[in-house]
Amino acid sequence: MIASRETRVLVDAGLSCRELLKRMALANEDSSALDAILITHEHTDHVAGLSVLARRLHIPVYFSEPTHRAWVRQMTPRTTMTYAKWLERVQKEKEARAALDAVETAESADPELCEQSGPIQIAAASGEAEAEEEDAPEAAIRRDPASLPSVEYFQPGSSFSIGDLTIMPFTTPHDAADPCGFVFESASESIRMAIATDLGYMPPNVKRALERIDVLLLESNHDLEMLKDGPYPWAVKQRVLSRVGHLSNHATAEFLSRDYDGSATYIVLGHLSETNNAPELALLSAEEAIRERGRLLGNRVLLAQQAAPIAPIHL
């Protein structure tokens, strides 16, 4: 969550709506004051709670057009199926609805409910409808799981504004439709913040985008040895390691020691793999890279982990 004096935006919504609201409260942030959600790319770990959260808070979602299209496709999979398969699906839906009705009559619905976790889509839809019943056309949402209060498009490489925040999206090398990172600038406070995760390597345009940044959230996804020796199937290991995969601790350290201009007061390491990384390794690797360059010692390195929000950084 990025907040300036007048504007608050959330970048990505990869956790459930319920978890996101909980974490905003833990960070003493008022979710109802959120102005918009910005999406970097359509991978599930960035959008899992998106539709429910946006509808719940009635706020616009900013995508690039290809990312929005990919997300809509993802939310409304069109499959061709045989008649037998179709019958089977209708039967399953009927059973799921019956099971849901039984649950609903057994207990009154929780008004705080964002969504039900688990695979039964109908249950999730019911949770949403509960929270939105005053003004959302429930039936339309059930028909269209990709419906959002409003959608705004941006183009990587062209800046746009939300309130007093100027936002420059930049293209990242990653295996999604149109992935990007963001630089945020608050004109009134002349503070710049950048988010760069989900990149297979550090191309020149990203290095340029990360100049003169005061708070830098940077990917440090995996330890190369842990990934190679780890449980992922070979094809997935190849994907992570590829030029459209993720930055290793090593690649992040290389950037910090060779190309980084050292202007950040805070460097936050993020998007750490729970399977193929250890927080201490990521931190050690980045700190060593900074120590190699004496003049970067003014940078404080922090770790963002999956289980809990980090303490808010105020500048």
Which residues of the chain form contacts with Zn ion (CB under 5 A)? 43, 45, 198
In angstroms, what is the minimal distance from the CB of 128 to Zn ion? 24
User: Which one, 67 or 116, has the nearer CB to Zn ion?
Assistant: 67
Q: Which CB atom, from 45 or from 211, has the smaller least distance to Zn ion?
A: 45
Q: How far is the CB of 39 from Zn ion (least distance, A)?
A: 11
Which residues are bridge partners to 116 per DSSP? none
**Cα–Cα distance measured from residue 253 to residue 233, given in angstroms and rounded to the nearest whole number:** 26
Q: Which is nearer to Zn ion, 12 or 185 (CB)?
A: 12
State the minimum distance, in angstroms, from the CB of residue 45 to Zn ion. 4
CB of 248 to Zn ion, least distance (A): 14
Instruction: Please enumerate in sequence order all residues whose Cβ is within 8 A of that of 302, keeping only pairs 6 or more positions apart, or say none.
Output: 266, 267, 268, 269, 310, 313
Residue nearest to Zn ion (CB): 43
Which residues are CB-neighbours of 227 under 8 A, at least 6 positions away?
A: 237, 240, 241, 248, 273, 276
To the nearest whole angstrom, how small is the minimum distance from the Cβ of residue 91 to Zn ion?
Answer: 35
Q: How far apart are CA 154 and CA 164, in angstroms?
A: 17
Tell me the C-alpha distance between 156 and 64, whole Å.
Answer: 7
Distance between CA atoms of 87 and 173, rounded to whole angstroms?
42
Q: 18 or 271, CB closer to Zn ion?
A: 271
Residue recorded with tokens 């100027």: 166
195 vs 290, beta carbon nearer Zn ion:
195
